[in-house]
Amino acid sequence: MQLLQDIAPKTDWFGRRKADERPYLIAGPCSAETPDQLRATINGLVPAKPNAIRAGIWKPRTRPNTFEGVGPEGLIWLKEAVEHTGIPVMIEVASAKHVELALAAGIDMVWIGARTTVNPFMVQEIADALKGSDIPVLVKNPVNPDLDLWIGALERMHKVGIRKLAAIHRGFSGYEKTIYRNQPNWELPIELRRQAPDLMMICDPSHISGNALLVADTAQIALDLDFDGLMIETHIHPAQAWSDAAQQITPEQLIRLMEKLVHSRELTEDPVFNTQLEQLRKQIDQIDRNLLELLSQRMEVIRDIGEVKHNNDITILQPARWAQIMETRLAEADSRELEPGFVRRMLQLMHQESINAQVKVFREQRDRQPRKRS
Ligand code: PEP
Ligand code: MN
């Protein structure tokens, strides 16, 4: 991942927050609808001091015959509505044509939507169209939880010379219905941060939540996970919004939300806290060593089980035993107040790994002593 390391901006184009500084804030409606709606929303947002204003001009919609954005005339409304504020404005681009029109209209920044990031052809087309401009480009995660696609889109932008880059985490589509519209799968942005520690990371709690009531809580989680900024959909009359009505909040609600958010910081020099943390981390280090030792012992027994099954022509998968393991462990986890979803996922991982190990044992044994067909 040589390129990804380079993506980390050498210059702080966004003025990344230092300890205690407020997060970088992008606010504005899901879609530009009318000149009045834009003006009223943006004027309402000014006291929140956003670093950038957002509005969708072309809306990627799952079904046709719904509102798909106002198109190019919205570019003029948007520029006019922000003019007296001096705040940079950003839109979503999904094709070379969008880029061309955005640049010609003097749009200050662009973002690439989740439905575009999934498609390397489209991402490349947009990158080629952006070549030579030095506006910031923010790349949303793809709809599916595929970190490589997300990184690939950032790399394509970087390859054409774009240096003002950031990633936007907006959650991932899932089959299961949960409280979220798009599952946060925080482990993906966390892994992106591990691979590109200096890349600016913005969270979009509006599209993760899908519901105005969840936005504040999701935004706070993002700050506690050390995100650099937030993109929050804001509408002067959320209930009447032409797109994403359920998740938008009013400018007043955004101002209150920003006041309430706690800006955690990554590091401190407070010796009392640091000593306390260090001691607790030593305990975790020891527990992890014990867990790994136990896992290694477990795998040894698994390989013995594989051999015994092989020698007796017994299938690797034993559905009744697997059901019993799941049931008993989940009951035990419950009595220890462990989160059942976590324990289920951990058991599934261990079970898959033990199946893999037994498949390997079977293969080795069969290679060693091929059976004669009777
Ligand atoms: C949006 O920002 O309004 C949008 C369409 O987002 P996403 O690409 O995250 O679905
Ligand atoms: Mn939206």
170 lines ligand 1 (CB under 6 A): yes
Task: Report whether residue 140 contacts ligand 1, using a CB cutoff of 6 Å.
Answer: yes
Q: Is any atom of ligand 1 closer than 6 Å to the C-beta of 113? A: yes
Distances (CA, A) of 298 to 291, 302, 354, 357: 10, 6, 9, 11
- Residue 322 CA to ligand 1 center (angstroms) comes to 41
- Is ligand 1 within 6 A of the CB of residue 136? no
Index of the ligand 1 atom closest to the CA of residue 207 = 9
Q: Are 123 and 156 in contact (CB under 8 A)?
A: yes
Ligand 2 midpoint to CA 139 (Å): 15
Residue nearest to atom 2 of ligand 1 (CA): 30
pTM over 0.75, yes/no = yes
Answer for the pair 89, 78: CB distance below 8 angstroms, yes or no.
Answer: yes
Binding site membership of 137 for ligand 1 (Cβ less than 6 Å): no
Taking the CA of 139 as reference, the closest ligand is: 1
Closest atom of ligand 1 relative to the 116 alpha carbon: 8
Residue 158 has pLDDT above 70, yes or no: yes
Task: State which of 149, 172, 207 you would mutate to test the pocket of ligand 1, scoring each by most atoms of that ligand within 8 A of its C-beta.
Answer: 207
Cα(10) to ligand 2 centroid in Å equals 31
Model pLDDT, residue 1: 52
- Cβ(205) – ligand 1 distance below 6 Å: no
Is residue 30 lining ligand 1, measured as CB closer than 6 Å?
Answer: yes
Say if residue 63's pLDDT is above 90: no
What is the whole-number distance in angstroms between the Cα of residue 173 and the centre of ligand 2? 14
Contact of 299 with 354, CB cutoff 8 Å: yes
The answer to whether residues 57 and 91 touch, using CB atoms and an 8 Å cutoff, is yes
219-250: pLDDT as tens digits: 999 999 999 999 999 999 999 999 999 999 99
Give the pLDDT confidence of 286-327 residue by residue, as tens digits.
999 999 999 999 999 999 999 999 999 999 999 999 999 999
Whose atoms come closest to the Cα of 55: which ligand? 1
Report the chain's terminal Cα–Cα distance, integer Å.
52
CA of 252 to the centre of ligand 1 (A): 22
Q: How many A from CA of 223 to the centre of ligand 1?
A: 20
171-193: per-residue pLDDT in tens? Answer: 999 888 899 999 999 999 999 99
19 has pLDDT over 60:
no
Instruction: List the structure tokens of 145.
Output: 């939880």
CB contact set of 95 (below 8 Å; sequence gap of 6+): 122, 125, 126
Chain segment 298-309, per-residue pLDDT in tens: 999 999 999 999
